[in-house]
């Protein structure tokens, strides 16, 4: 019989899992009587192996992170040819187990889970740590509704010169399903890579499906790099506009187009949760566990959604009608409903090269006003924006207002076509007056 495995100061309860590199045990730490997890280097792996250095790296990273949403490391031990981590034990289930049982969860629970993960990532990113392996298998939910991010085996720290070895049987690696486009291409991951992975998880939580999953890893990788995610409402899923926008911003292909930081993501998710849930995020998470038969809890009821109707002055209506009339009658503009962020056209964006005779024209009307970005470059500011000449093809439009969430649209334009895009900026706080118009702008707007 093989020799029984022992760990100094700990009594093994049972072996939880075994991988090619690391084994995981449930144990009791003595004399404290504290239940812990032991992540130990496999008996056939030498401490001189690069995979052993990965375990030591994980211990060092975790020792620098102190956050309620990140699993704690109690100890790191090296004894001769053996090495192990003593980790905080979380009494509960993984997010993967919840999804296996429930398929999808209520919006409030999905947002609450995303909020707690964003807060944990914000702490890690503030300490220069990028997780790189965010997936439901690496998220634990305690019986009190707490979220714990674990398994930093693949994490990188910009202060450390080398990245860990990618083979680790103890990780929750599921192929490319949750990876960002830049990770697929083998480029260095940064905090925005984690936000893309979190966006994939949020999409899965509210819809029950993964946005880019294909029949094999190759097709999945291609979809992550090239395809927009299917609209969340495609399968009959009902989701609030604010949640859909947050997920869309996380799933942008270019890191520079994604939501700026984990802290910003947490702020938006916190606001979205307040619209639909009274009580702590943990109560919303517990309600999901209870619905899946994984916990018993008296959850707080969801809020009644209140529809806010923004009043518009007669002058504002007349001004809007004037703009539309000018576009539709005098200039021959077509009023078009552009694609929403989750319905982005699959074609690549047309270059912003100088358009020729076959150029298309885009006129933007934003209420009350907005800076207009086309394919990442600022082109105009409404309400007195001049027509923007663009090459035929697909263009990505972003409208920004200091007191509103950025609005994004994708517009496919044919040669010689004129398009009028009208967008209502959802201003959430008192905003300053629109930019002061200049005399020449009015004449330019009125000219055909």
Residues 177, 317: Cα–Cα separation, whole Å: 47
Residue 133 annotated as catalytic: yes
Half-sphere exposure of 188 (CA within 13 A, CB side): 8
Closest alpha carbon to 373 in 338, 401, 354, 353? 401
Domains of the chain: 10-88 (3.30.200.20), 92-291 (1.10.510.10), 314-446 (no CATH)
Question: 375: phi > 0 → left, psi -120 to 50 → alpha, else beta; which?
Answer: left
- What's the Rg (C-alpha) of the chain? 26
Between vectors from CA 44 to CA 39 and to CA 50, what angle results, nearest 5°?
A: 75
CB neighbourhood size of 442 (10 A) = 11
Distances (CA, A) of 81 to 42, 78, 201: 10, 8, 38
Q: Which long-range contacts (CB under 8 A, 24 or more apart) does 219-223 make?
A: 220/175, 220/176, 220/177, 221/176, 221/179, 221/184
Question: What does 333-364 look like in DSSP terms, one character per residue?
Answer: PEE--PBPGGG--SSPBPP-SPP-TT-EEEEE
Close Cβ partners of 182 (under 8 Å, ≥ 6 residues apart): 188, 189, 193, 255
pTM over cut 0.85: no
Distances (CA, A) of 340 to 150, 394, 411: 34, 13, 9
Q: Which long-range contacts (CB under 8 A, 24 or more apart) does 444-447 make?
A: 444/384, 444/386, 445/323, 445/326, 445/384, 445/386, 446/326, 446/330
* Residues in the chain, total: 448
- Give me the residue label for tokens 């001769």: 80
Residues 117, 347: Cα–Cα separation, whole Å: 32
pLDDT tens for the 448 residues of the chain, in order: 345 678 988 999 999 888 778 899 999 998 889 999 999 988 788 877 877 888 888 999 999 999 999 999 999 998 888 899 999 999 999 999 999 999 999 999 999 999 999 999 999 999 999 999 999 999 999 999 999 999 998 999 877 655 555 543 333 345 799 999 999 998 889 999 999 999 999 999 999 999 999 999 999 999 999 999 999 887 778 888 899 999 999 999 999 999 999 999 999 999 999 998 989 999 999 999 999 999 875 544 445 443 333 333 444 444 444 444 444 444 444 434 344 444 333 333 333 444 555 688 898 888 888 889 998 888 888 876 688 999 888 888 999 988 888 899 988 888 888 888 888 888 886 544 444 444 433 333 333 3
Report helix, strand or coil for 302.
strand
- Which candidate in 23, 107, 133, 157 is catalytic? 133
Contact status, residue 434 vs residue 404, Cβ threshold 8 Å: no
């Amino acid at each position: 019989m093989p020799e029984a495995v022992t760990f100094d100061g700990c009594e093994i309860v049972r072996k939880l899992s075994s991988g090619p590199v690391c084994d995981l045990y449930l144990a009791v730490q003595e004399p404290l009587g504290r239940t812990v997890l032991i992540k130990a280097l496999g008996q056939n792996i030498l401490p001189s192996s690069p995979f052993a250095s990965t375990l030591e790296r994980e211990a060092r990273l975790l020792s620098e992170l102190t956050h309620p949403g990140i699993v704690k490391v109690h100890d790191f031990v090296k004894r001769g040819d053996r090495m192990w981590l003593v980790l905080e034990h979380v009494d509960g289930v993984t997010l993967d187990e919840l999804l296996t049982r429930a398929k999808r969860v209520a919006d409030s629970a999905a947002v609450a889970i995303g909020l707690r993960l964003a807060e944990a990532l914000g702490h890690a990113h503030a300490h220069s740590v990028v997780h790189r392996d965010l997936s439901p298998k690496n998220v634990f939910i305690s019986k009190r509704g707490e979220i714990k991010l674990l398994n930093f085996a693949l994490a990188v720290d910009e202060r450390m010169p080398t990245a860990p070895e990618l083979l680790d049987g103890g990780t929750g690696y599921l192929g490319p399903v949750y990876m960002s486009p830049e990770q697929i291409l083998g480029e260095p991951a940064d905090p925005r890579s984690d936000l893309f992975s979190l966006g994939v998880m949020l999409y899965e939580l509210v819809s029950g499906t993964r946005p880019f999953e294909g029949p094999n890893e190759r097709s999945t990788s291609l979809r992550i790099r090239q395809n927009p995610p299917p609209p969340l409402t495609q399968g009959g899923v009902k989701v609030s506009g604010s949640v859909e926008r947050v997920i869309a911003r996380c799933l942008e292909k270019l890191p520079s187009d994604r939501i700026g930081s984990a802290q910003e993501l947490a702020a938006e998710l916190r606001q979205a949760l307040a619209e639909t849930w009274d009580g702590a995020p943990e109560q919303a998470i517990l309600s999901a566990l209870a619905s899946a038969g994984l916990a018993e809890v008296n959850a707080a009821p969801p809020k009644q959604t209140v529809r806010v109707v923004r009043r518009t002055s007669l002058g504002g209506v007349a001004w809007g009608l004037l703009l539309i009339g000018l576009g539709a009658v005098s200039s021959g503009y077509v009023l078009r409903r552009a694609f929403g962020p989750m319905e982005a056209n699959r074609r690549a964006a047309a270059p912003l090269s100088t358009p020729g005779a076959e150029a298309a024209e885009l006129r933007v009307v934003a209420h009350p006003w907005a800076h207009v970005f086309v394919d990442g470059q600022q082109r105009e500011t409404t309400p007195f924006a001049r027509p923007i000449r663009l090459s035929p093809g697909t263009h990505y439009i972003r409208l920004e207002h200091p007191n509103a969430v950025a609005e994004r649209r994708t517009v496919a334009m044919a040669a010689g076509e004129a398009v009028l895009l009208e967008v209502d900026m959802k201003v959430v706080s008192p905003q300053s007056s629109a930019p002061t118009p200049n005399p020449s702008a009015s004449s330019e707007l009125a000219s055909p």
